[in-house]
């Protein structure tokens, strides 16, 4: 383990919002968010830690920006829009049982590779707009619902999947403005999405993710 006096629990103060199992470490000369697990996309590693690239991951961006995700490590997680598993692999590194929903068959092959080395990661080739097609598999009272579906109707997807979340659970949502309306100003799109979201969730925090992802809004919310 590299010890430049950066990692280690005593020094976690500035990153008080990082869950156990996620740590800021020096990798390849840079300070990087890291989790412990098999590398999956050629990311740099330091011993058993692998860098979590916030530029490739909305949740990584939310953590980098210090958003209060409420994550502590070990939670039961439902992840919507898993794609090739880049982010959900990191989630499975620090969380407990992790359900990964993705509806496009092409990235699922890569996702299966990520699952290979993670016994707590369960892939589901399903449409997130139809939770009844996976409610017989995903357990009730998940601690966290992560959503990054980049499709029209992002607030609606979050509302439909409310049923999986414990009453005190957290929704960690990345809203992509262009998925809702390519022409409209992102701020206007975010307002509309948040208004719809507030029908089922209480919004705790929002933050533009532009430093890592153009025209994306990070949202932390809890069921109403």
Partner 1 sequence: MTESDGGRGWFERAGSADPADAAETVTAGTAEEPRDWPALAVERGYVDAESEYYDRLREATTAAARAAAAERERADDRQLLHAVRAMDDAERVANELAERVAEWAGTLFPDAGTGVEGCLDLAERDPDGPVEERVVSLASRVADLDREADELRAFIESRAPVAAPNLASMAGPVLAARLISLAGGLETLAKKPSGTLQVLGAEDALFAHLRGHGSSPKHGVIYTHEYVRGTRPEDRGSASRALAGKLTIAARIDHYAGDRRPELEAELNERIRTIRARAEDGDAGGDGGGSDE
CA distances to 31, 44, 45, 97, 178 from 8, rounded to whole Å, are: 13, 19, 17, 25, 39
Dist CA 141 CA 169 (whole Å): 8
Residue 164 is a binding residue for partner 1 (CB under 8 A): yes
Torsion angles phi and psi, residue 178, rounded to 5: -65, -20
117 binds partner 1 (CB under 8 A): no
Of ligand SAM, partner 1, none, which one does residue 148 interact with (CB within 5 to 8 Å by kind)?
Answer: ligand SAM
86 binds, among partner 1, ligand SAM, none (CB under 5 to 8 A by kind): ligand SAM
Q: Which of 61, 123 has the CB closer to partner 1?
A: 123
Cβ at position 208, least distance to ligand SAM in Å: 17
SS3 56: helix
Q: Identify the residue among 22, 124, 155, 171 touching partner 1 (CB under 8 A).
A: 124
Least distance in Å: CB of 45 to ligand SAM? 18
Q: With binding defined as CB under 8 A, does residue 132 bind partner 1?
A: yes
Could you tell me the CA-to-CA distances from 131 to 14, 64, 73, 208 in Å, in that order?
38, 30, 25, 28
**Binding residue (CB under 8 A) for partner 1 from 37, 89, 97, 186:** 97
115 contact choice in ligand SAM, partner 1, none (CB below 5 to 8 Å, kind-dependent): partner 1
Maximum Cα interatomic distance, the chain, rounded to a whole number of Å: 49
Closest to partner 1 by CB, 4 vs 119, is 119
Give the list of residues 6+ apart from residue 183 with CB closer than 8 angstroms, or none.
none
């Amino acid at each position: 383990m590299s010890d430049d006096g950066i990692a280690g629990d005593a020094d976690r103060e500035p990153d008080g919002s990082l869950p156990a199992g996620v740590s800021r470490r020096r990798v390849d000369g840079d300070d990087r968010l890291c989790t412990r697990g098999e590398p999956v996309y050629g990311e740099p590693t330091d011993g058993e830690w692998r860098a979590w690239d916030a530029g490739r991951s909305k949740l990584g961006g939310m953590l980098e920006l210090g958003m209060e995700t409420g994550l502590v490590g070990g939670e039961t997680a439902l992840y919507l829009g898993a794609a090739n598993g880049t982010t959900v692999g990191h989630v499975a590194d620090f969380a407990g049982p992790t359900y990964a929903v993705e509806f496009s068959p092409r990235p699922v092959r890569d996702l299966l590779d990520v699952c290979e080395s993670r016994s707590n990661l369960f892939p589901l080739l399903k449409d997130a707009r139809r939770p009844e097609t996976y409610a017989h598999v995903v357990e009730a009272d998940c601690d966290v619902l992560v959503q990054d579906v980049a499709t029209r109707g992002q607030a609606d997807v979050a509302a439909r999947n409310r049923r999986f979340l414990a009453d005190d659970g957290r929704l960690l949502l990345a809203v992509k403005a262009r998925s809702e309306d390519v022409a409209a100003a992102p701020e206007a799109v975010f307002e509309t999405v948040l208004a719809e979201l507030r029908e089922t969730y209480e919004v705790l925090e929002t933050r533009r993710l532009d430093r890592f992802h153009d025209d994306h809004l990070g949202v932390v919310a809890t069921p109403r």
